[in-house]
A = this chain, B = another copy of it.
Amino acid sequence: MIHPSVQIGKNVEIGKYTIIEDNVIIGDNVSIGHHTVIKKDTIIGNNVFIGNSVTLGKSPSSNKKMARKPRLDLPPLIIKDDVKIADQCVIYQDVLLMEGVFIGDAASIRENVEIGKDTIIGRNVMIENNTHIGEKVTIQTNSYITADMIIEDLVFIGPCFSSSNDKYMGKGNYPYQGPILNKGCKIGSNATLLPGVVVGTDAVVGAGSVVTKDVGDGVTVVGNPAKKINKQ
C-alpha cells in the first residue's frame, strides 16, 4: 500500500502489509519492516532501518480536558541518515532525528522534539513534546522524558528515570518547565527529578534519588530528598 507519490531511493526493502502515505521521501539503502505505517510528508534519509509495527509521522490529538491543545499544520517528521528505529515505536510529526540516532523497541516520541547525533533512546522510553536532546546522549530502557525538558550532549540517564514539568499538578494556567540536564551529567536508575530543576555539568544523581533542588556542577547527590555527598 504505497501511495504513487512516494519517492523511493535505490536498494530499498519494504515489508509486507506496510502502508506509506502520500509525499513520503525515502533515501537509498533503507529497510522498512512489516505492518508499519508511514504518514504523509515524512522524510527518510539514507541507510535508515525501521522495524515492524511502527507508526511514523503521527499527528497529535487531545480531548476536552487537556490544558494544551496540539498545534495543527506541524512540519513533517525528518529522519536523517543512519538512524535505526526498532519495532512498535510511535513517532509524531515535527520530530527531527539526527544522524546515527538509535531508538529501541516500543519507544515513543511526541511532536516538537529534536534528538542529536548518535544518541541512544532505550526500549519503551516515552518522550513528551517540546524537548531538546543533544548528541551522544544515552537514555536507558523505560525512562520518562517529560515535556519542556532540555538534555545537553553526553548526558547519561539510567533505566526507569522519571521527570515532570508541572509543579502545581494540573491546577491551571501557568508556564510548564521540565528539568534541565547539563552536559555530561549522569542520572541513576529510577531517580525522580522535579519540575524545573537544573542538574549541573558532570554532576551525578544517585539511583532512586528524588531531586527537589538544583544540583551544582560536578556535585553528587543521593537520597530522598537528594543531598550532596562527598565524592569517593
Contacts and interface: CB of A to CB of B under 8 A. Distances in A.
Contact of A194 (B55, B66, B166, B207): B207
Interface residues of A, number: 74
- How many copies, total? 3
Nearest to A65: B118
B123 A124 contact: no
Interface in A179-232: 186-190, 192, 194, 204, 207-210, 212, 222-225
Contacts of A86: 61, 90
Given A105-B108, A106-B108, A63 B190 contact: no
A170 interface: yes
Given A17-B35, A126-B123, A170 B186 contact: yes
A136 interface: yes
Contact of A144 (B128, B141, B222, B225): B141
A72 interface: no
Interface stretch (A4-12, A22-30, A154-162): A154-162
Contacts of A49: 61
10 contacts: A1-B16, A52-B55, A61-B102, A65-B138, A106-B108, A162-B207, A164-B207, A169-B188, A190-B190, A192-B208
Interface of A: 1, 15-17, 19, 33-35, 37, 49, 51-53, 55, 58, 61-66, 82, 84, 86-88, 90, 100-102, 105-106, 108, 118-120, 123-124, 126, 128, 136, 138, 140-142, 144, 146, 156, 158-160, 162-164, 166, 169-170, 186-190, 192, 194, 204, 207-210, 212, 222-225
